[in-house]
Structure 1
Amino acid sequence: MRELLETFRLEAQDHLDSASTLLISLEREPEQPEKQRLVESLLRRMHTLKGAAHAVNLGEVALICQDLESLLSEVKRGELALEVAIYDRLHREIDLLAARIFQHPGASPPAATQVAPAEPQRAPHGAPPAPPRGAAACAQPAPGELPPAPPAAAPRPQERREIAGSETVRVPTRLLESLLLQAEELVSTKLAAATLQEELNQASRLLTERAWARSRAQELAGYALRGQGPPPSPQRVASLLQDFCDTERESEARLRGLERLAERNQHNLAALIAPLLAEMKQLQLLPFATLSDPFSKLVRDLGRELGKEAELVCRGAELEVDRRILSELKEPLLHLVRNVMDHGIESPLRREESGKPRRGSVAIELRLLDANHARLTVRDDGRGIDPAQVKATALRLELLTPEAAGQLSDADALQLVFESGFSTSPLITSLSGRGVGLAIVRESLERLGGDVTVSSRPGLGCEFTMTLPLSFALIRALLVSVGKRSALLPAGNVELTARLPREEIRQVENRDTVLLTGEVCSLVSLSGVLELGEQTGAGEEPYQQVVLVRAAERRIAFAVDQVLGVQEVLVKPLGSQLARVRNVSGATVLGDGSVVPILNVNDLVRSALHSAGSGARAAAPPGKGRRLSILVAEDSITSRTLLKNILEAAGYQVATAYDGADALTQLRSASFDLVVSDVEMPRLDGFQLTAALRSEARFADLPVILVTGLESRSDRERGIEVGANAYVVKSGFDQTSLIEVIERLT
């Protein structure tokens, strides 16, 4: 039964993948005949899934499929109109199926790509869905059924690649047959290698057999040269010379034969390895659609949650990418889409006021750059990012000095959004505002050997551009020497190499610069950036070897000792013990057996800018010399005590108030660094308290965190309007996240 369940889950994953895609297409489709075709396809999927569920005794799953069949049959017969409420119910039922099928007994399901609400209580067909079920209401499973899912977000089938701990992929039989034939051809190469080894053994034996004769001839020659003993007879010398000549000719013939055999083996092996490796790579390739398709539902769900309307358009979904890269792209793409929906796309009313269509547009596009690189863009037609606001936030967070902010271009300022902790959101919520998501995007892309940039047109939208490899394994890299060491730079990031006279190196603002491709570029010692403690380039040398690299939109020239040429290398990760080493992305083994690091160009450029004293960053903020004081306003004594204990355990000095009016009185008579307030309180609620504080100049910048059970969109918007800095919902309360929010605001 366990094996049957694993097989069923694999089949169900396909059905639910297709059902979600069909449902999104149905919701968008304007033509009635095409709608009928999509409804028919959904019906077939649910019918097949119901039969498979019955086969493995999953009665509850089969019952949900049957309800969906009945609902879709009414739609097909024209007895039920496809309205928003019906679409919502269909999405909920499919989410419920995923929760029932893809959970693991005794363990919480993994995080989902979509933002799923608490699992809805199933209602009889034709009745409206019941409110979300609480944890205490979960029933025990009946025999033969999967246990009920916890009320957390259910995993979507599109995102579940592991079934019972093993990972599976579909492979075309044509590809398997081709790989088998090529593997069989390797047997011939193996036999040829055995022949070569036997020939080498024979040559070695021949030379060993002549060892005694060589020693004897060397001994006689020594006697003759020293004049000791009678000289050897001419016949003896002639005999030895003849033997040596015969042995040398035989050895020469054998070596030439071995050389030809080795060349032939090398040629045959190369002819086999290249296509074999190429087709093995094909096994790892999946269409980009396997990653992008679920995001249509994500955009829909986020729109429903945020009170917005948006539609996702995906281009390049047919392009194939290494599944390991798709797996790494999942998290950054999720953060980008969430960021776009939360910060970029406006509400329908705001869009109409701006002369835009009510429904926003989010586009994901994948394009090929070359044989192994692609460009992935995420763009929207929302409000865009204001560079002035970015600079103001950077100044507040001490990421920029006022002088550097004045010199920073708008395009460069926008790249600051990828810094950890950076957020222009006026409110921190469970969805966004902590300044973590875009930092994760940059780190993920750099881990892949790519980069990410952002451009924006305020009021018209923004575009995130990511460059990434299509597959791992072999890459072309430039081998350079730095002091007594060697290092590799990915060739995709190298613009040019040059050998410049030292007199062409100029000093500009106490920094070395060189003129390359008509542009002045900073020149930085690669040895200095890597902190090798070795002088790069001897001062007496008249020329300096330079490598110009590009990372995103930045270009830096690095001084090296030698440029040794371009090589094709196999990238090896550093392993879990060295998961993240600054300036290094991996390593490889060269043909001579030496292990050489592959450098992380994005890290190198950042390190170079820092070492060159670019002024883009201010010194780290000084440590706080005193304990921060926090006022907690909460009418419930239990919640008040809990918050007080959490904050004091974290090292804060805490005072409490029993409602908003009491809090306002204490704030006017004492000094506090931050306020944590409930919303629903007698006399003066949290919204009113925040508004009252913002109306007084001395409290204008005092951070206010609202901790509340009110989680509707209108309540969050009201929190923004009154000037709260963070909005933490009690249903998802986590003391660690509260401390993180406080640290972020102080």
Structure 2
Amino acid sequence: MLDSDALLKELLETFELEAREHLGELSTLLISLEREPEAAERVRLLEAIFRRVHTLKGAAHAVNLPDVALACQRLEDVLAELKRGDLPLGLEQFDSLHVSINELGERVTFYHPAATAVPATPAPPEVPVAAAVPPDPAPVGVEPRAPLPAREAAAHHGAPPTSSAPHRAPERKAAEARPPAARPYGDETVRVSARLLEELLLQSEELVSAKLSASALHEELTAAAGELALRQGERSRALETARRIVKGASGREAALAAMLEQSCQAERHLEGRLRLLEKSADKHLRSLQAMLDPLLEEMKKLQLLPCSTLCDPFAKLVRDLSRELGKEAEFSCLGGELEIDRRILAELKEPLLHLVRNTVDHGIEEPQQRLAAGKPAKGAIALEIRLQDANRAELILEDDGRGIDLARIKAAAKRLEAAPAELLERMQDHEALQLIFESGLSTSSSVGNVSGRGLGLAIVRHSLERLGGHVTVSSTPGAGTVFRLAFPLSFARIRGLLVQVAGRDCVIPATNVELSSRVAPAEVKRVENRDTVLVNGEVVALVSLARILELKRGAQAAEDNLCFVLLHAGEKRIAFAVDQVLGVQEILVKPLGRQLSRVRNVSGGTVLGNGRVVPVLNVADLFRSALSVEAPPVSPPSHAPQARRVSVLVAEDSITSRTLLKNILESAGYEVRTAVDGADALSQLKSQACDVVISDIEMPRMDGFQLTEAIRADGRLSTLPVILVTGLESRSDRERGIDAGASAYLVKSSFDQGNLIEVIQRLS
């Protein structure tokens, strides 16, 4: 069992350091907010302040500081009113916010153990020099110090420490006279600053660039020597020709032949020197690798800490928080002996804090509810950390609570407008579950001290993506919820896939790459207005990486195969089209710096062995960009003459009806595109023309009548045939359709696919 007092002291010290960082950043953000004239940037800064205060509140709860947490709660209430626009952002409001931050700082200082170690009593009288020396002689070579209370009192009141220099001189002479004591080996430890260790590790990782440069130099020398070796046959023939000319010629021809022979001899000598340089470069590269790789591994070990240092404090947090909420819960940890970089553990602390608090508040039921459901009165929260491979680990947080109510998640997402209503209705369960990580989305009916603002899980996703990882969630109603946090084991050194996009090199983290392949343009199919490819029997969306990165792509021949890279982020998989794949190599990721702290789709940069700086792509951003932008075809247009097919655009909000119409028309030989409603159809028509439009009437955003009227009002589209296929069969509906400009009106109850094909043929 752990010593509770020692653990609490350690937690308070950790909290003080974390709180100081948050409070310092809050002051900086407030000043930036006060100086920022742009409304959009003010919203972003206010969101950042809100998240910092929310995290500080959770940390205060974790170390049982209710008044600090209450102060954060009050500050959150003010910030929430500012976000809603209920309070003006004036000078008085900024003054009030700064005062609140200062008061938080005073509360944090009050609870710091060092601040409470010395009682606020008058300074003691001056201690005589003799009394300041301990009665027992100090160990050899160690300077005797004043008693602890005297030192702390002197430090507290700003007085210099009591001098004991006169009593150290005899001991120095004694130390010089005595032989040095034997030092134990093996168990000896040295206390070193964590900052110094981090600097040493960063400097040692910089040597990776030297290894990459040496490798690039070796490759260049090998290529140059190979080119000269390929000329060996030509060189031999030229020498024979020159020698024959020299024997039978004189004057200028003999001189030219002699010069040719000298040139061939010089080239052969140059090839020999290049071969020697290649061997020397290879030797030096192997030597550098033999020294550098073990050095980096040993330096990494200096930063390793057992995961128990991260997990152990949560046992007390779960106990205290569950009792505060009138619940019973027990926390367990598996894999705490696994050692991970302390910097990674520090980054995981904040997201794990929010997950555990949300699990206790939202997941675990009250004892009466659990007993009624046939469960033990005490809930179980289990944390497991395990290695996925040599470069990645996974943290699994599981509970046996009530699970996540998907209906409430979709309702909250609809209120927040996190996704269109029609998309929420069609969304699969595992996709809808991921909406809980959207900022501001909460299923709680009230805002409490623990949760309810919808910020905690958004911070979790942001933190994991900043680490280069991702978070997913799965849930079974009534049985519990499982969060999976995947993250890398190293900050700087990673293996990356080097690709070329629109003539520019980019690096994709190799941990997110499943495979790279090529596909013929004819194999790219258009499904639901998106290009798709078949990979291992599964249909996967195909997106142009050049379009995502907003790069102009050069012309590509129609017969050229498309090269793509299949990436995964959690359970999602998307194929990104690239120009070519250049290979996999170890890279050293550099942050973008304060000037470019956040760039969409880019997480950092790296320097290749040849000295070129290339961006390292952010896979999570790539997926968000790919899912949010409308995707035009990535396959190059075919210029071969072929019979033109009639193109049909089907606008239907029901996926069943849309699929049925699409299959009927494609079987009849038509080229079919689909739209989820009238607004989507009108948007597609403005970017890509078609020959016939088939539309339902009852659709969200823009119905069939409105779509027909918009087409007739557009000068470029006014003559486009529009066929309304609907379940509305009253006379008034038919007349309204004709008045709107419909070319034909078909009723679904008497629908006949032969009749539909006949109407299309007549109108097109």
TM-score for both structures, normalised by structure 2: 0.53
SS of 1:573's partner is coil
The one of 615, 621, 625 equivalent to 1:597 is 615
8 Å contact from structure 2 (residues 11, 63) kept in 1: no
> C-alpha deviations, 1:201-237, integer Å up to 9, x for none?
xxxxxxxxxxxxxxxxxxxxxxxxxxxxx96998x99
Match of 1:557 among 575, 578, 582: 575
**Cα displacement (A) at 1:166:** 5.0
Give the equivalent residue in structure 2 for 1:117: 65
The Cα of 1:262 is off from its aligned counterpart by 2.5
The match for 1:167 is 194
Count of aligned pairs: 457
Among the aligned pairs, what percent are the same residue?
Answer: 53
- Structure 1 position 165, deviation (Å): 12
- Matching residue within 393, 401, 419 for 1:400: 419
- Structure 1 pair 309/371, CA: closer, same or farther in 2 (3 Å)? same
1:344 to 355, 358, 363: 363
What aligned pairs does 1:14-29 form with structure 2 within 5 A after superposition?
A: 22-23=1-2
The 1:523–1:102 alpha-carbon spacing in structure 2 relative to 1, beyond 3 Å, is closer
Kindly provide the CA deviation profile for residues 23-81 of structure 1, in whole angstroms up to 9, marking residues without a partner as x. 4xxxxxxxxxxxxxxxxxx5xxxxxxxxxxxxxxxxxxxxxxxxxxxxxxxxxxxxxxx
Match of 1:698 in 2: none
On the 8 A contact 1:372/1:470 being kept in 2, the answer is yes
State the shift of 1:168 in Å: 6.3
- d(CA) in 2 for partners of 1:237, 1:386: 90
Does residue 167 of structure 2 align to residue 140 of structure 1?
Answer: no
CA offsets per residue over residues 402-431 of structure 1, 9 Å max, x none?
A: 211221111110000001111111111232
One-letter amino acid of the counterpart of residue 603, structure 1:
D
| TM-aligned CA deviation for residue 444 of structure 1 | 0.9
1:147/1:608 Cα in 2 relative to 1: closer, same or farther (>3 Å)? farther
Summarize the alignment of residues 698-737 of structure 1 with structure 2, pairs less than 5 Å apart: none
The Cα of 1:243 is off from its aligned counterpart by: 8.7
Measured in 2, the distance between the counterparts of 1:559 and 1:474 equals 26
Give the 3 Å change call, closer, same or farther, for CA 536–548 of structure 1 in structure 2.
farther
For residue 295 of structure 1, what is the amino acid of its counterpart? Answer: F
**Alignment partner for residue 571 of structure 1, among 545, 566, 589?**
589
Q: Which residue of 2 aligns with 1:606?
A: 624
> 1 CA distance for matches of 2:253 and 2:374?
113
Which secondary structure does the structure 2 equivalent of 1:413 belong to?
Answer: helix
CA drift of 1:117 comes to 2.9
- Tell me the secondary structure at the aligned position of residue 370 of structure 1: coil
1:715-735 per-position Cα deviation (integer Å, ceiling 9, x unaligned): xxxxxxxxxxxxxxxxxxxxx
Pair 550,422 (structure 1): closer, same or farther in 2 beyond 3 Å: same
Q: Please give the alpha-carbon distance, in whole angstroms, between the structure 2 residues aligned to 1:449 and 1:529.
A: 19
**1:528 Cα deviation after fit:** 1.0
The residue that corresponds to 2:30 in the other structure is: none
- Structure 1 residue identity aligned to 2:286: H
* 1-structure distance, mates of 2:20, 2:558: 67
Distance in 2 separating the partners of 1:579 and 1:519: 37
Shift in Å, 1:107: 7.4
- The answer as to whether partners of 2:528 and 2:675 remain within 8 angstroms in 1 is no
In the alignment, what sits opposite 1:311?
Answer: 330
Corresponding position of 2:342: 323
Which amino acid in 1 is paired with 2:194?
E
Q: 1:103 to 1:478 in 2, by over 3 A?
A: closer
Between the aligned partners of 1:484 and 1:378, the Cα distance in structure 2 is: 43
Pair 1:356–1:249, CA change in 2 (3 A)? closer
Equivalences for 1:87-126 in 2 at 5 Å? 95=8, 111=56, 112=59, 114-118=62-66
Q: 2:503 aligns with which of 458, 465, 484?
A: 484
Aligned counterpart, 2:494: 475
Tell me, in whole angstroms, the C-alpha distance in 2 between the residues paired with 1:513 and 1:243: 61
Q: Distance in 1 between matches of 2:476 and 2:498?
A: 40
Distance in structure 2 (CA, Å) of the matches to 1:545 and 1:133: 56
Amino acid at match of 2:369: R
Q: Which residue among 401, 406, 411 is the counterpart of 1:387?
A: 406
Displacement after TM superposition at 1:525 (Å):
1.0
Gaps of 5+ in 1: 1-21, 24-41, 43-89, 121-131, 149-163, 201-229, 620-746
**1:108–1:169 Cα change, 3 Å:** closer
Rate the CA distance shift 1:277–1:421 in 2: closer, same or farther, 3 A. same
The residue number in structure 2 matching 1:159 is: none
After superposition, the Cα gap between the structure-2 partners of 1:276 and 1:426, relative to the gap in structure 1 and judged at 3 Å, is same
Counterpart of 2:365 in structure 1: which amino acid?
E
CA distance in 2, matches of 1:569, 1:170: 21
> Match for 2:617: what amino acid?
L
Task: Provide closer, same or farther for how the CA distance between residues 463 and 97 of structure 1 changes in structure 2, counting only shifts above 3 A.
Answer: closer
**CA distance in structure 1 between the aligned counterparts of 2:574 and 2:627, rounded to whole angstroms:** 9
Q: Say whether residues 1:362 and 2:369 are aligned partners.
A: no
Structure 1 window deviating more from structure 2 (467-476 vs 598-607): it is 467-476
Decide which moves more: 568-577 or 258-267: 258-267
Alignment of 1:162-241 (within 5 A): 167=194
2:462 pairs with 1:462: no
Contact 2:16 2:109 in 1 (8 A): no
- Matched with 1:736 is none
| Preserved CA contact (<8 Å) 2:529 2:675 | no
Tell me, in whole angstroms, the C-alpha distance in 1 between the residues paired with 2:282 and 2:67. Answer: 66
Question: 1:594 Cα shift?
Answer: 1.1
The answer to whether the Cα contact below 8 Å between 1:399 and 1:616 also exists between their aligned partners in 2 is no
The RMSD of aligned alpha carbons is 4.4
> How far apart, in 2, do the equivalents of 1:281 and 1:133 lie?
33
Matches of 1:453 and 1:142, distance apart in 2: 57
Q: What pairs with 1:683-698 in structure 2 (closer than 5 Å)?
A: none
Q: What is the CA distance between 1:247 and its match in structure 2?
A: 7.3
2:448 maps to what in 1? 429
CA drift at 1:485:
1.1
Contact 2:311 2:333 in 1 (8 A): yes
| In structure 2, distance between residues paired with 1:265 and 1:327 | 38
Contact 1:537 1:560 in 2 (8 A): no
Equivalence map 1:52-63=2 (5 Å): none
Q: Distance in 1 between matches of 2:604 and 2:467?
A: 11
Superimposed CA distance per residue, residues 431-473 of structure 1 (whole angstroms, 9 cap, x where no aligned partner): 2111111011111111111111101111111010111111223
Runs of 5+ unmatched residues, structure 2: 24-55, 69-106, 124-151, 158-190, 222-249, 632-673, 680-764
Listed as ranges, the matches of 1:576-655 within 5 Å are 576-612=594-630
Contact 1:103–1:109 under 8 Å retained in 2: no
Shift of the 135–596 alpha-carbon distance from structure 1 to 2, 3 Å rule, reads closer
Q: 1:547: Cα distance to partner?
A: 1.5
CA distance in 2, matches of 1:109, 1:508: 48
Shift of the 108–602 alpha-carbon distance from structure 1 to 2, 3 Å rule, reads closer
Q: Equivalent residue for 2:460?
A: 441
Distance 1:258-1:437 versus aligned 2 partners, 3 A rule: same
CA distance in 2, matches of 1:451, 1:616: 30
Change (3 A) 1:383 1:537: farther
Indicate whether 1:503 and 2:542 are aligned: no
| Cα distance in 2, alignment partners of residues 539 and 244 from structure 1 | 42
